[in-house]
Structure formats: structure tokens, C-alpha cells
Amino acid sequence: MANMQYDKSTKESRILRAEGGDYVKQSRIAAGLTQRELAEALGLKYYTFISQLENGQGRLPPNLYVKTARALGIDVRNFALKMLSFYDPHTHAAITTGSELEE
């Protein structure tokens, strides 16, 4: 369908958001950071944002991809592409494979 938009409220998008949160959590743990330390590195006022993110209840804003990757010691490009795969799989597929996702 030409007019179809990616729906952030679907079951698939919720699953992907939870997987993205788990990726951030595992990366944070591997970097030896607490949620509070990561929040501070990102300049966030509340560490609970990291908790919500890791539980799939929120999304990491794109303007924090670079800071987050650096705080976690991850290559920025790889981190951004990985987050894009969770939050916008259609764009990720177009960029990485030049194809569309099957509906």
C-alpha cells in the first residue's frame, strides 16, 4: 500500500522496541555502567529514562545516538544502524539491503 506508514503501536513494533532496550541494557552492562552513570553521561536529569528505555517503554531519541554509543564504547555508525533496525526497520532495510521489508 502506497500510503502505509510504520505504526509504532503494533505488536511487532513493541517487540522491536523491547529488543532495542535489551540491546542498550546489555551494552551498558558490558561497559560496566549503571543506569545512573549512563544517564549522567548523556546529560539526562533522570536515570529512570534509561530504565524505561531498557524495558521497551521508550525510545532513545536519535539526537542521543552519538553520545550513547561513545558512552558505551561502541562504534557510532554501528550503534546508530542497530538502533534504526529496532525503531525504524523499513528505513534500516532500505539503507542496508536496498530492499523493502515483507509485510
**3 within a domain of the structure (yes/no):** no
39 is a domain residue: yes
Q: How many CB atoms lie within 10 A of CB 35?
A: 19
Domain residues for the domain of 87 are: 11-96
> For residues 53 and 24, what is the distance between their CA atoms, to the nearest angstrom?
8
Interval 17-73: pLDDT, tens: 999 999 999 999 999 999 999 999 999 999 999 999 999 999 999 999 999 999 999
| Inside any domain, residue 1 | no
17/56 Cα distance (integer angstroms): 5
Domain CATH code at residue 36: 1.10.260.40
Q: How many domains does the chain have?
A: 1
Question: Is residue 23 in a domain?
Answer: yes
On whether residue 35 sits in a domain, the answer given is: yes
CB 92, CB 81: distance < 8 Å:
yes
Q: Give the pLDDT of residue 103.
A: 60
**What pTM value is reported for the model?**
0.86
Whether 4 is in a domain gets the answer no
Q: Which residue has the higher pLDDT, 99 or 51?
A: 51
The pLDDT assigned to 98 comes to 82
In angstroms, rounded to a whole number, what is the distance separating the alpha carbons of residues 56 and 19?
7
